Amino acid sequence: MGTRCGIMSPLSLLIVILSFIAACGSEKPSPPPAPAVATVNGQSIDIEEFEKALREETALAKRETPLKREETESLKEEVLDNLIRERIMVQRARDLSLSIGDAEFAARMEEIRKDYNDQFDKLFGEGGISQPEWKEALRKRMLLEKLIALDVNAKIQVADEDAERYYNDHRKTYATDRRVRVAQIVLSDRDRAQGILKRLKAGEDFDKVAREVSIGPEATRGGDLGFFERGVMPEAIDRMVFSLPVGKVSRVVQSPYGFHIFKVLGQAEAGGRKFADVREKVIADLRKQKEAEAYQIWIEGLKAKAAIRINRPLPGGAASTIAETKDTHPSAVPEKR
C-alpha cells in the first residue's frame, strides 16, 4: 500500500477512500487511551488506527493463501511506514500553509459524481458509509496531491537532450507494428451500402461520398480513421483492411455498428519511430519517472528530519504487546522552503 506520487483515477481514488472509511466502522464508545504505536513530531499513531489499516491490508494480501509469519511482520512494517509518511506529508502541507478551498473541493466532487452518475449516492447508502466521513478522506487525499504537485513535481524539468537520451535507451518501447491508414463509410442498411459501393467503383470520390452519406462520427473528415495497428478493429475488419493495397476500396463489411466500406489511404511498416514523432510521449514518460524518483528522495528527506518514535514490537498478529521504544531522529518538523 505504498504512497503514490501521481494523481489517481476517479475509480481508484473512490475505492481507496471507501476502503479507508469502511475500516473505520461505526462510532462506538471510546475505550481507555492505549499507548501509541508511533509518534511523528509529537503526533500519535494509535493502536486502533494501526490495526484497522493492518486488517485492511491483510485482507487484500490474503486473497489466495494465508500470509506466513515473516510476511505478516513485513506487512506490519509497510503499513506503519505508510501511516508515518501520511502524517509527515500532512504536517508538511500545513507547514507550507496549503489547503483545499471549497470551490476546488466542489469541482472535484462534481468530477467524481459525473463518473458514477446515479450510482454515486448508492455507494454510501448501501455501504453504510457517511458522506461527511468520505468527504473528509477525499479532502485529505486532495491536500496530499496538491503538496506533491507543488513541492515535488513542479520542480522537475525535462530537457530535450535528456528526453532524446531516454528515447535512445528505450527505442523498442517506441517501436510500432505495421499500421494502416483507413477511411470508412458506415451505413445502417446493406442495400444502400451496396448502392454506395457501386458509385465508388464507378469513380466517385471516396472523401466526398463519405461526407455526404456516412453515419460515422468521422464523416466530416471524409471518413478518415487515421493510422491503427492490428487488434484495434474487430477481427473481420482487420483481415479486410490489412490485406488491401493502398488506394483500393473494400467490399461491404458488416459489424455490430452497421455496414462498412473501407479505403486504405496509406501503410506504415513495422519499425521504430523518429524521436520527433514521439517527442511528447517520451517527455511525458521521462517526467513520470523523474517524479517517482524525486518523490522517494523528498519523502525520505522529510522522514530523516522528523522526530519519529516507534514502540516495538508492533501490535497485531502474534506480536501484540507494546515494549520497546525507539527514537529515529530528534529534530523537528522541516522548515518552509
How high is the pLDDT of residue 165? Answer: 97
Q: Per-residue pLDDT tens for 157-176?
A: 999 999 999 999 999 888 87
Specify if 202 maps to a domain: yes
Domain-terminating residue out of 233, 268, 303: 268
Exposure b/e, 263-298, CB count within 10 A at least 16 = b: bbbebeeeeeeebeebeeebbebbbeebbeebbeeb
Q: Does 165 reside within a domain? A: no
| 82: Cα within 13 Å, side-chain hemisphere | 19
Q: What is the CATH number of the domain that holds 22?
A: 1.10.4030.10
- The cell for 26 is 461505526
CA–chain centroid gap for 177, Å, is 26
Confidence of residue 34 (pLDDT cuts 50, 70, 90): low
Whether residue 248 sits in one domain with residue 184: yes
Assess if residue 22 is contained within a domain.
Answer: yes
CA distance 314 to 50: 9
| Residue at 278 is within a domain | no
* Domain stop point among 219, 238, 268: 268
Q: How many domains does the chain have?
A: 2
128 and 181 assigned to the same domain? no
- Are 293 and 147 members of one domain? yes
| pTM tops 0.75, yes or no | no
Q: Do 220 and 302 sit in the same domain of this protein?
A: no
121 and 153 inside one domain: yes
- My answer on whether 52 and 80 are in the same domain is yes
Average pLDDT score over residue span 112-133: 72
**Looking at the domain assignment, is residue 277 inside a domain?**
no
* Residue 24 in this model has a pLDDT that exceeds 50: no
Residue 1 lies in a domain: no
Range of the domain at 218: 176-268
C-alpha cell at 241: 483492411
Q: What is the pLDDT of residue 334?
A: 32
Domain co-membership, 252 together with 287: no
Smallest CA-to-CA distance from 98 within 40, 41, 149, 39 is with: 149
* Partners of residue 262 on adjacent β-strands: 184
Report if residue 333 sits inside a domain: no
Of 94-108, 247-261, 263-277, the range with the highest mean pLDDT is: 94-108
Q: 149 and 81 in one domain?
A: yes
Same-domain check for residues 313 and 250? no
Query: What does the pLDDT average to over 192-206?
Result: 96
Residues in the chain: 337
Shared-domain flag, residues 203 and 245 = yes
The answer to whether residue 205 sits within a structural domain is: yes
Residue 294 and residue 147 share a domain: yes
Domain CATH code at residue 264 = 3.10.50.40
Whether residue 90 sits in one domain with residue 148:
yes
Give one DSSP letter per residue of 23-67, joined into a string.
HH-S--PPPPP--EEEEETTEEEEHHHHHHHHHHHHHHHTSSSPP
